[in-house]
Amino acid sequence: MSETKIISLNSKELADISQVGGKGYSLIKLSSLNLNVPPGIVLTVGFFEDWIKKIKNSDLYKEFILQLSQNNNECQIILNKIKDWSLNNLVLSSSDKQDIEDNLKKLFPDDYNKILYAVRSSSPEEDLAGASFAGNYETYLGTQFDLLEEFILKSFISCIDYRVFKYKLEKGFTASDIKIAIVIMKQVNCDVSGVGFSINPLNNDYDEAVITSNFGLGESVVGGIITPDEYIVNKISKKVITEKLGSKDKIVKLNEDNGTSILEQNSENQKKSSLSKEQIIQIVDKIIVIENSYNVPIDIEFGIENDILYILQARPITTYNKLPEEFLTKPNEQRQLYFDVTVGVQGFEEPMTTFGSDVFKLVIHTLAKLIPGIENIDNLKESAFDGIGGKLLLNLSNVMTKFEIETITNYTSNINSLINETLLNHGNEYKNKTECKALKINKLYIIRKVPIIRIIFAKYFAKSSKSNFENQMSRFITESEEYIQKNIDSNVPIFTIFEHLFNNLVTYFRSYTIPVLAYGIFFGYMKLKILFEPYLKDNSELRQDFNNLIKCFPFVTILMGLDTYKLSTYLDKNQYKNKTQDEFYQDYLDKKFPKEFYNEFETFMKKYGFRGEGEIDIVNKRYSENPKTIINQVFSALLEYDESNNPQKDFDDTNTNRPEIFRKLYKFASKKGFASEFEKAYFFTVNFFQYRESHKYYIVFVIGSVRKLILKRAEVLLQRNLIDGIDDIFKLKIKSLDHILENVDVITKEKVGNKIQEDNKCREIVTTWKRQPIMFDSRGRIFSHERKEASKKNQLIGDSVSYGKVRGKAKVLKTVNEKVFNPGEILVTKATDPGWTPLIINCGGIILEVGGMLQHGALVSREFNKPCVVGIENITDIIKDGEEIEVDAIEGIITLLDREE
């Protein structure tokens, strides 16, 4: 047999992973770094060629391949049969046995047949970035030399295990391929052993190492037999941040003859730390060396025998959030704290497109330049904001140098509660030491450009400000439509078109929108909250009255929901009681609805056709392109409501009853001494709070309208085969697309592909994230809500944003059209945008992962009397589709009724 079929772990040359497998490759590499790796050998993939041939020539394997091609569920049974057949039919040849003995004799000349060995499988696909295969392959500890063949075979057949087969399918490997190498290494009789991580797996912090350990062999730790000791260490300062002793009630020890046993741990060891401070730092030092060599975060397995530290394994960590260079700071630099608007406000499950975030970057740049006079707001490190990699990130470390933490939290409490929690707990450590000069507000510019007088003398200018806003914004729509139409086939760059429209829009905002927003939000709604907040918590009647006072205003998204309901009133409910959603949509397409419906639907599309789910990202289709979303909600509204019970009636009744509620609350305010302030705040709320979402409406109007122009211009790229699909253009930045269109006659598909790869590089990294955090820092650390404790196991605690109580079946959705939504179901999702409004009016209640009183879902739920609880992390994973739940939005409690208390 060729000597290369057996390779020593202390080989000077790094073997090919396809031959020695992930574990073998790692151990050889660790040994080359002069780390203390137990001596041993690797039986390469080539060593097992004969066994693999015999299996593949067997009738059982042929049956397995047939079942696999038919996607048959019987694969597990046949794989178990192949394993049994292998145990009875596969043996090592005499030359194989002799080669193993000769190689071990070289390493251990005096006692190769007396010492114990660890037999460990090593798959060519194992321990690769993206696929750890952890726990799927078998390891056998404490193996005597005479029993090596038996345990080599047992380790070998673990590559035929159903767990491995399923994991391969999920990770995109060829499931039918049989490949395995086996590591045989000297068994370390560990006094202490465990696992170390070069990154904190709980919060993704790059600069924290985490070690878990127990006395004895590491199987008690990696196998989850006990609760181990846990140490978190700062890799830069080498300080132990936390030390938590586990129960450690069991210990795994080597048997004298063969194998291992699980024994009771003595009480003394249970109470004391398994590692000394010196050992902890020694392990961290080795973790750093290995991480630097691998150039990615890693985890290791280690053992300590007679105070000698052995590294038993190292592999890349496959489940962490890798930060693009644009987000990162160096280990010793001041960390920057980021808030992700796409997750924390919009609730996006995935990042925006590169093009979409580039558009929003231009929006923010224009707003900052033309309102506070900030020239360069769109630089993540140097200023406050940037649109990178599909993320819209706010750098709070820089913002805190210009505004007090308390000032920021007073405003952000209504946007997302995690901002407040994080800033109050950690704000001072993240505040940059020097003032952010790029955020210098030009006060003289604001005085000259913003109608300050109208804001100061709000009551005097209220009427004219309202009419100015409505007239001028209507004018903006008309002018913009004409401008876009004129430039559909022109040579004016898309960037210039966006720039022109956003400059105009922000100029209109500055003059006409800012006054009405100031009146409605700051002088109205927020003032009302400040006045009544101290009295609401312990007074349920007052809370209900206050909630009724501030709901059902004619926000544009509310009007869209009511207009959706109005469409349903043109149809006969009895005609569609027994029809499906798809049948209903087909009737719409076949023009089977009354003529009045189609007339009203045309009006609806003129007002809202540029909107849609995920509307702030230009890649997403609009209602005008895909009306099915709206038609589906018309169907739900038709089945859910009648003349005596419908959202329009609730809306009208609330507005009719509002003056009576005001009079009742006025009496309360008089007793508390703030009646005059209340009356003034009420006036501004009733007349101006309805414009709260207007700025977003017009931004989305521009995005949706220019999308049509872009799609028309980009048709030539498809015609000339320069892109594979129309959505490829949204992987580019705006100016890159302009450059390609300007050079369409000479540019090649390869160059277009290279530009897409360059522009989309950052987003490609971000889309690998296993979780999309709301708050994180420039060293990867993810911030989460402090978990609120419920009194029962089947309860979850969140924040009530629309009061009431309801029971029903949960419908867990990631997108509005993911599955059929039945009237009265409880909507469970991350967050909503205006594209969800028609669905919300048909739901029984709402549970959202993203918190905040003024986010879209919270606002719409109040308008339509839907109990709503927000701010429960991972809620879409916790609640299962169809399970019976109760939403108590009075106390903020979600009860999972089908589960144990």
User: How far apart, in whole angstroms, are the C-alpha atoms of residue 10 and residue 27?
Assistant: 8
Please, which residues have CB within 8 angstroms of residue 801's CB and are 6 or more apart in sequence?
Answer: 852, 853, 858, 861, 862, 868, 869, 870, 889
Question: What are the start-end ranges of the H helices in 691-791?
Answer: 694-719, 734-742, 749-766
Mean pLDDT over the full length of the chain: 91
Pair 370, 379: CB distance under 8 Å: no
For residue 517, the surrounding DSSP H or E stretch is: helix 514-517
Please, which residues have CB within 8 angstroms of residue 478's CB and are 6 or more apart in sequence?
Answer: none
65-118 pLDDT, tens digit per residue, is: 887 767 666 777 888 898 899 999 999 999 999 999 999 999 999 999 999 999
User: How far apart, in whole angstroms, are the C-alpha atoms of residue 493 and residue 99?
Assistant: 71
pLDDT at 649 over 80: yes
- At residue 71, the pLDDT reads 66
Three-class secondary structure assignment of 527-564: HHHHHHHHHHCCCHHHHHHHHHHCCCCCCHHHHHHHHH
Query: Order of strands across the sheet with 391-395?
Result: 385-388, 391-395, 337-340, 775-777, 782-783
Question: How far from the centroid of its chain's Cα atoms is residue 150's Cα?
Answer: 46
| 3 state SS of 503 | helix
| Straight-line distance from the first to the last Cα atom of the chain, in angstroms, rounded to the nearest whole number | 64
686-744 pLDDT, tens digit per residue, is: 999 999 889 999 999 999 999 999 999 999 999 999 999 999 999 999 999 999 999 99
Query: Order of strands across the sheet with 308-316?
Result: 240-244, 229-234, 208-215, 192-197, 298-305, 308-316
User: How far apart, in whole angstroms, are the C-alpha atoms of residue 691 and residue 393?
Assistant: 25
- At residue 141, the pLDDT reads 93
Find the length of the chain: 901
Pair 799, 870: CB distance under 8 Å: yes
- At residue 608, the pLDDT reads 95
Pair 7, 15: CB distance under 8 Å: yes
Instruction: Please choose, from the candidates 321, 455, 450, 342, the residue with its C-alpha nearest in 3D space to the C-alpha of residue 391.
Output: 342
Token look-up 């709320």 returns 685
Please, which residues have CB within 8 angstroms of residue 597's CB and are 6 or more apart in sequence?
Answer: 567, 570, 571
Q: In this predicted structure, which of 230-239, 379-388, 678-687, 826-835 has the lowest mean pLDDT?
A: 826-835
Looking at per-residue confidence, does 13 or 143 come out higher? 143
593-621 pLDDT, tens digit per residue, is: 999 999 999 999 999 999 998 899 999 99
Pair 365, 628: CB distance under 8 Å: no
For residue 806, the surrounding DSSP H or E stretch is: strand 805-812
pLDDT at 133 over 50: no
DSSP for 453-491, please give it: HHHHTHHHHHHHHHHHHHHHHHHHHHHHHHHHHHHTTS-
434-468 pLDDT, tens digit per residue, is: 999 999 988 899 999 999 999 999 999 999 999 99
> Within 13 A of 570's CA, how many CA atoms are on the CB side?
17
Looking at per-residue confidence, does 79 or 476 come out higher? 476
Instruction: Please choose, from the candidates 834, 837, 847, 839, the residue with its C-alpha nearest in 3D space to the C-alpha of residue 823.
Output: 839
- At residue 178, the pLDDT reads 84
pLDDT at 132 over 50: no
286-344 pLDDT, tens digit per residue, is: 999 999 999 999 999 999 999 999 999 998 888 899 999 999 999 999 999 999 999 88
Question: How far from the centroid of its chain's Cα atoms is residue 649's Cα?
Answer: 38
pLDDT at 852 over 80: no
874-892 pLDDT, tens digit per residue, is: 899 999 999 999 999 888 8
For residue 653, the surrounding DSSP H or E stretch is: helix 647-672
Q: Is 390 left (phi over 0), alpha (psi -120 to 50) or beta?
A: left
User: How far apart, in whole angstroms, are the C-alpha atoms of residue 80 and residue 63?
Assistant: 13
Query: 687 — phi, psi (to 5°)?
Result: -90, -20
Burial of 170 (0-12, 13-18, 19+ CB in 10 A): exposed
Pair 301, 218: CB distance under 8 Å: yes
245-275 pLDDT, tens digit per residue, is: 999 999 999 998 888 999 999 999 999 999 9
Please, which residues have CB within 8 angstroms of residue 728's CB and are 6 or more apart in sequence?
Answer: 717, 756
Pair 770, 321: CB distance under 8 Å: yes
Average confidence (pLDDT) over 800-810 = 88
- Going by pLDDT thresholds of 50, 70 and 90, the confidence category of residue 2 is very low
Instruction: Please choose, from the candidates 154, 241, 245, 183, the residue with its C-alpha nearest in 3D space to the C-alpha of residue 26.
Output: 183
Exposure b/e, 471-496, CB count within 10 A at least 16 = b: eebeebeeebeeebeebeeeeebbbe
531-583 pLDDT, tens digit per residue, is: 999 998 888 899 889 989 998 899 998 999 999 999 999 999 999 988 999 99
Average confidence (pLDDT) over 490-519 = 96
- At residue 432, the pLDDT reads 96
Q: Which own/partner contact pairs does 164-173 have at CB distance under 8 Å and 24+ positions apart?
A: 164/123, 164/133, 164/136, 164/137, 165/75, 165/76, 165/79, 167/131, 167/133, 167/136, 168/125, 171/125, 171/130, 171/131, 173/125, 173/131
Q: What is the pTM of this model?
A: 0.85
Please, which residues have CB within 8 angstroms of residue 482's CB and are 6 or more apart in sequence?
Answer: none
| 3 state SS of 599 | helix
Three-class secondary structure assignment of 320-371: CCCCCCCCCCCCCCCCCEEEEHHHHCCCCCCCCCHHHHHHHHHHHHHHHHHC
- At residue 131, the pLDDT reads 45
Pair 184, 148: CB distance under 8 Å: yes
Instruction: Please choose, from the candidates 798, 804, 821, the residue with its C-alpha nearest in 3D space to the C-alpha of residue 866.
Output: 804
Average confidence (pLDDT) over 391-399 = 96
Strand residues in 72-158 grouped as ranges (E): 117-122, 139-143
Amino acid at 218: G
User: How far apart, in whole angstroms, are the C-alpha atoms of residue 470 and residue 419?
Assistant: 34
User: How far apart, in whole angstroms, are the C-alpha atoms of residue 816 and residue 841?
Assistant: 13
- Going by pLDDT thresholds of 50, 70 and 90, the confidence category of residue 585 is very high
Exposure b/e, 688-697, CB count within 10 A at least 16 = b: bbbbbbbbbb
Both tokens of 557, joined, read 């998204």
- At residue 73, the pLDDT reads 65
DSSP for residue 603: H
Q: Is 101 left (phi over 0), alpha (psi -120 to 50) or beta?
A: alpha
Amino acid at 187: Q
Taken in order 15, 19, 24, 25, is the CA torsion positive or negative? positive
